[in-house]
Structure 1
């Protein structure tokens, strides 16, 4: 690590100052807690003065940087420090930015420029990352960066082989293989370079030596791609064509390699024999079956911590394609359905929401298909029955499953049971020392042993007692033994099942001050798995700018866990399930029902206020949504501005909490708040394709609005359900819901609601071919939106109407509509409407024969949808671009666009869409005279249409097949 200022190199003394600066640089712009710095500097047994030593090191760093005129202030921000430095001044970020830029160049077809950019990025390196700083925590992070460098090297070598530079690369790749003998991709690049240089024998020898090394070192055969390359060289078919460089579309499905494991516990203590047994089942490839481990035990024994620990130990080496995690909520009274969990997993694996089938069996089939060739670990936390787990088991033995449950789940086929019990005395003392501080345990060994015996070695109880003692350094361990002894009935309960947890928690609860106890009880009213800090302000009706200040006393005594840091610098919190139940009991016993109800209303009003603000920032105002008048509670405006800097990303991150708030509002009888929040959350559901959440929240909100006799709410939810049914292709259900909502909005004379219903009914009419009705409905919808002052609603209708006008030869009016819509989007800042309007303009241009202009428009829209990660939109645009290219006679471009569109469709398992693109590709090949290829494509498409019952499309393809067959001279 080196720091340079205006006067040259700035000396940073080796040791702690370098470690602290390195960690702050790796988290530049983020708050790094003092605890994290302590844990990084002293991996075991930090001294009592650790925090003071960190403060001294930071002060010296500040002085060194300031004296050298280096602009990199280190701010004190609770609970630690934040380094503010321009990212272009840190070569780690410069490297990452150049690699991203190179990948953009690849997507633009500029392979030579991309290779040069990647070489420039790699040239920033002068050796292994953070070489010379002997710190295990930093070394682990540095290894990930070293891996990124190797990937960049292989990327530019692959690009350059594709550019025909194989002769000059053989030496460089040979050196790379020598330095990284177990990297199969490097071996494959060397085989390609040798083969293309006419050195087939050496290419095959490279494979054989790789195979021998892998078998000797790892006991593994080479991977599928390396084996395929050897076969291609042996057969002489296609090996001279290097693997295409990473041309994955810019809008890859979200989380293609999900990393969802919860954080490992730094002070984990457990039976290493059980850990080893679980690892053996997960990684040992038990025959042809999926390795399944079920971790069982009573509450408080540490099942989730055990699963997270084992998961992290095996994840990167054995399951590099990702780790999926979900809470099955077995102990919360409302277990999550398998179909819903599969929907979440499919989205994490890259399938857009609209592409996910509705039925459980279809979801299981898609899930197992996606995992068939991947090495993925699936962690299912808090399962209650086998029926929850069975649909989530992969079908391939390349994957493994880790389940935690209070039940043994013996009905899960082939599962290895790992039963956790209380810790033995030695491990209990080890855990107590980690939580409390080993020095205090060593000073009173007999009292420490007595504490362990008193709580029966239960990990949760040990952590609670240790935290209470740590918060009161003037207490002795013997005094805690005495306090526990005076509560004999509680100690008896502590040794038996669930009551033991309640008794242990009472010890900590009783030690908190009155305000902390009140917050503890009120905060437990929230249902979310993880909570933002502002919820504390809402339940207390306190608008302090740093809500974490309210919660820190609960964190200090480990009654609340910190699980993440938000972009605002505030934290996210998590109740352990049993702790949440205990807190609710205390709230019911000690807080008046009216106060609890008011706190719940403020908290849910906070979710509504933030969702409403997010919608406004996405759309540029309160457009295209019907609101009620339920009370809102808003955090401080500066906090909201930071939280909603990217409003759609915020909504995405709070997806579970928003859905849970809808349910909780219904349960609390807050009917108006319930439906208002549900329809506002459609901003997220529609943008990200979360159709399951859309339907579930709306059905609950509809029931709540009907219970509350809220006609506006019923109409709003029905209208939104009509839009949902359009998105999911359920025309009849959509028409029925929209018609019912329209009648209600007419009675209420609500212009915005009328405009939304007529807009969607116009869309249904247009799709049914009834253009006259569509035109009438669009005219009425625009009048409604004008009366409501909803300019974005008007713009959306203008965009939809343009297609009808274009079909009827009224291109000038269509262009005028689209121009007005674009003007509205630009004025309001609603970027979401621009791709649809521009795409429609491209279709109008193509229909008028302005093919070059249409192609330019489609390319512009393609960039927009890629930036928005709209994989479905990208597939549509590539197909449109291919159609225009075909009309222009640019057959190569057309083929490229159709093939990329086809790849996206297949990636999403959209078989119907893929069949349509195959028909487009067949037309290109027919025009080029390649009838045999066309027949193959058409035959495949006809089979898909037949399987899906799409008779009209199948008949059309079969007629084309007859014509194509005549061109081949076939039967």
Structure 2
């Protein structure tokens, strides 16, 4: 299959055209062919189809169009397109541009070897590959830029072809064609040079000199330029009759020495291996024409990287290296593109006046570079508009450094984006060794690593710290680090005396100055918020702009490397940028604005519990603990206790804020902090302490009259009491708060409390009441109550043996789309339930998978008691699969834990499990000891279902021991309990009794 872009887009197979139909498919194919054997991102495809105005469905439309394109190609032959991540890559050796490039390389090689006839014929063949203007009929900024680049390649080859023709004495054949080309391209001086040579050789010397005069007048009048030195020398040679010069001038042009403008490489360049590899790969993949944009926060070492790579690859660019500091983020005005062009034009050997207009200067600059291989380094660029006129054409490579990402260059110029983050810890350490005696650093490596952390692993900050330490040879690293760490303005110490422009504050000043007032204000407002990162939704809440505008500002700040989008829809500062903004700029925010930001932050955080916000809430509470009513923010942590592993952190914070509220005489804050402390104690397994704090909060609320107006504290106290066996009071509290929720129309509270009451009835063995409450609201629950509060329904289904309903419920709770919404505690219990069902149904591998996952999640989230419950089920599974000894060892480990000692429910479960396994392996005395203990515990906390299970287990034990009479008595007791509860385990008891009656044992 042949692909052709040097003319209208065309695909051919066996001489026939393969139709590429639709609005988007031809553009996408053209783009893939322009990037042959390179991956094209989905974003670049969107840009190619819609320039700067893509629709909301752009990505989907691209994917649909690519699917249609691949079908078209596949129907014709094999599909040459591969999906690479979110992008696509087309690889083909049958591309006309590849054929053109190969022929050009051969032709130019022949000319350099003096084989001009061969060069002429080969270059003629190369031009014969063209069928018209490249990519004719395909509109769009990206395609127009590509077409212009390809056209420049064609014209350069035409110039070389005429040079080869003239060098082989074929002047007369091409006078007419050269006249047409000079008229068509009046400013391309090589065409006039070839025409003058041809005219002189056919005896039209006066006409040749007139052609020079005509060009000179046009250049001066239109561009303010003089003809090139080569052309002037040719004019003089023709006038003086120097045929040898005339002959050689057609092929060889005299050039100034190659420019070598690169600054000296920075001493002790360290790290950046990944970025250096990216640049090496860029050069290897596209040696003909490449653009790379090196972007990063100020001080990240972009210039050092560019210069280091350029110096290492100097030999790849025999025609020189151009460099300009565009001063995009300097204290002076940025360099104008036309001024940079004039400097480059002079460096490339042009001795005449440079054009005054930017367009003419670009034309001359690119003409001078047309047959050279040069590296161009555009340092410290402000924006894409400053860079575009300076991009060369032909076989050249350009490195651009900027604090901006310069995204427009990646879309319109196929630029490769190379981002620079902070150095690694080890690289930061190595960088300091360049400036400081190694022995001094190794004397206290811990202090050195603290120093690298305080410098944010930023190369400029590290170099400044290293320079200051080097200038203080008698100061230990630890002393310097302590000064830096304790300073109220760390950035003040990260400066070199006598060089204010190099100070970090100066670097950051210039970055901030380059953004809009709206972006700067958003940055200030975020800098006031003392958190590690910011959700996009929170930023919108804190912003003074509308949502869409705020998103634009976030993108702008990220492009400027003042913020980093480190996860989807979450942003953060670099450490030193945060220090700069929070210490130097937020002073501009008045107290009213600060109060407003605290209020907005608090309202957003407490509106919906978000597990990923835990650390941010804690940090904000600590930083703002002296602010009035900050306890409202801390109180929101109560709803995150099922998410976080660090309950101790919440306890410490709540204790501190409790003291603050008491000192401030704020009774409502005191109520909330005592409530919070109660719930942290409960989650930590200290039920007595939890009960005390909750009762204190309720008592204080009663004094205030409305301190527990919505009944939340009483609801939570009922939960605490139920774990301590106080079921009657717990039921009374729940009934009271449930009625309150019904009166106030609080739908979610009503459903949650109904489910809790159902769970309590289940504990009490009131299954009819539990079933009525839980199952009747279960359908409604799935639309009004999150999975995290719907556990009672699943537990009830399990007890009742309704495994089909339980599996449907589990599918809802454990659904992938809810994985970020279900707290670890709930997910663990749900997995444990599913594992138990799999075990009961003999699906042992599935059971093991679920139980292992439940244990892992519970341990990661600090819920050890729940992990031990899952281990009891796993122990029973070991027994079922012939590994009883292993199961017994596991449950004995559970029995030895503090959780088992503190939690009677867990202790009863573990004892009963140990009894079952011991009986199975014939350890009857041990089994009797465990089951008797389990029965006693279950009776003390009034758990009828477990009492029935213990009685059934004792009956089975008696049967195994041959005591049929006692077995029958216990079996009947178990059966009666199960019948009263309405649970299916009554059938197990009946089966035992039937067996006993059928085969009487010792009476």
What TM-score bracket applies, with the shorter chain setting the length? 0.3 to 0.5
- Larger RCO: 1 or 2 (CA < 8 Å, sep 6+): 1
TM-score by length of 1: 0.46
TM-score by length of 2: 0.44
